[in-house]
Chains A and B, each alone.
Chain A
Amino acid sequence: MADFNVNVRGVGSVSVIDVKGYLDAHTAPQLENAFNQLIDGSKYKVVVNFNDLSYISSAGLGVFMAYVETMRENKGDIKFSNMQDGVYNIFDLLGFPMLYEFYKNENEAIEKFKESISK
């Protein structure tokens, strides 16, 4: 069984999703649930912290593609942080760096949201 965990935390007006373990076609629905709950709660500023994620397949990448427009249409975004090289390489292969922001750490990503608010 693939071991996967998703946890959502609020940091001010930003929601941080911690993903842990293996994100594949079996576990992707758990991440979809997390996004659906955020949208239900009108929370559109999202940072996904990948620190503990060891594996991602296209089923996992597809979740971000499915939700990013909704977030952006509502003055939010999905930003990524703390990604391991192996996981980043897969995002890179599929062209994500052209359209998504990647940060070394979570705080940088959260700060970016604050900057866009103060503008």
Chain B
Amino acid sequence: MTSKTNNINKELTVKSTTNNLAIIREFVENIARESGFSKEIVSKISLAVDEACTNVIKHAYKFSPDREIKILTQFNDSKLTIRITDSGDKFDPNLIPEPNLKEYHKQKKVGGLGMFLMKKLMDEVQYLTLSGNQNQVVLVKYLA
């Protein structure tokens, strides 16, 4: 059994289809578990990554199925960093307001929930634009 192994770097590249979400979650859950996170936190990390990848599939790639999503993970000094990279449409997180939940339900608007959840579930969420028209979401969780 491995726990708290330092400096684990792992990578997974999958096509941009929703049926890969289960594979992505399993990949991330294994890493989070190996990094020493509790079962509860492992589930949170897994959901946050699912939400990030769902957003990539829906919004960056508009459900086009043969694009690529790259997931890079790094565990170092009690910090798990997960980088999700796509080469789809650029996304400005500032254009999506933080939802007022009560209003949100009334509006019947379904969207933006994923971003909101990611912020609630992770310690840090960052959106980057990389060279070569790539977008990256960086999710960070600290091992308490």
Contact = CB atoms under 8 A, between A and B. Distances in A.
Interface of A: 1-3, 22, 24-26, 55, 57-59, 61-62, 65-66, 69, 86, 90, 93-96, 98-99
B21 A62 contact: no
Contacts of B113: 58, 61-62, 94
A1 B105 contact: no
B92 interface: no
Given A61-B113, A95-B102, A90 B47 contact: yes
A93 B117 contact: yes
Interface in B40-89: 40, 43, 47, 50-51, 54, 57-58
Contacts of A2: 19, 21-22
Contacts of A99: 102, 105
Nearest to B114: A58
Interface of B: 17-19, 21-22, 25, 40, 43, 47, 50-51, 54, 57-58, 101-102, 104-105, 108, 110-111, 113-114, 116-117, 120-121
A95 B105 contact: yes
Where chain B touches its partner, the secondary structure class is helix
A38 B25 CA distance: 31
A95 B101 contact: yes
A58 B117 contact: yes
A86 B40 contact: yes
Given A2-B22, A58-B117, A62-B113, A98 B102 contact: yes
Nearest to A100: B105
A24 B54 contact: yes
B58 to A, nearest CB: 7
Contacts of A25: 18, 21, 50, 54, 57-58
